[in-house]
Structure 1
Amino acid sequence: MTAVLPARPAAEPRALPGIPVQDTFDDVLDNPLDSALAGAPARMFATSSATGVLVRLTGEVDAACLAHLPGVLAVLDAADRRLPVLLDTQDVTFMDSSGVALLERVRGVCRATGAPLALLDPAPAVMTVLRLVGLEDAVPVVRTRDDRA
């Protein structure tokens, strides 16, 4: 079973350090997931392409979600280490400290490999938790939608 991410509306590219403006991740966002998690009833998915890595979180990001972290880390490990990583959290409805731990783990991997990391359209639930723990500015945010968290 292969899952496909929904198409994103066209957006003006945003410049982030280490993320080439000409690469808007359209091929990552429109490609089927290539993670071993693609057929699993997971709330976390990862896919990679020639222009970047997309990690997508949906639903409730809690301790149960962390069980899927090794698969996501495997996708990050297999990808070109210079590629930017987007963490798509727009469909997250709840996030607890497990989500913060997950973000810090992915951020640590990116820091160690030199890969730039950005949050893609973070949901209000995500930004609320990040503000509470003082991490709202720890990762750059890319917005492709008008609604602001």
Structure 2
Amino acid sequence: MTALDDLPNVTSFFGIDLRTGSMIVAALGIVHPMAYGCSFFIPLSYLLVTIWILVALYFAASIVLFWGLAKDDTILCALWIWYAVIFVVLMLMMMMLLALVFTSRKQRNRVFIVILGMLWYILTIYFILVVNSHRKQLQGSSSNSDEGADRDT
């Protein structure tokens, strides 16, 4: 039993089955970094470079999730879940710092965009629950097939 088993279960991804929902989450994780291409107009800072590195790693983790879903590999799904948990916490903190910077510069439009980003990362918590619920289903089906194989011998 791991800490991931203690997370709550969801039954669907906005009415879609968990496998398809997990694939959508992986696709969103791959498309997600493209939103940061819009931030090239901002002067580089350590905060933005750190955000870009975290987002690039999230992109890589989403490719790992796709691979895990294609192969029905619970370990690869768990790898994405662990990184996504860390990613969401760090990104929410970074977005708060970015909002403070933009507020101090009186850049209302950028503060609004950062708030939307924070809402996106809060929604990502739901995405984590969807992928974790699918992982639990895969784990349950693999353990059931193992029990059946044990009974046959």
Short-chain TM bin? under 0.3
Between structures 1 and 2, the one with greater strand share:
1
- Structure with higher RCO (Cα < 8 A, 6+ apart): 2
Please, what TM-score do these two structures have when normalized by structure 2? 0.27
Between structures 1 and 2, the one with greater helix share:
2
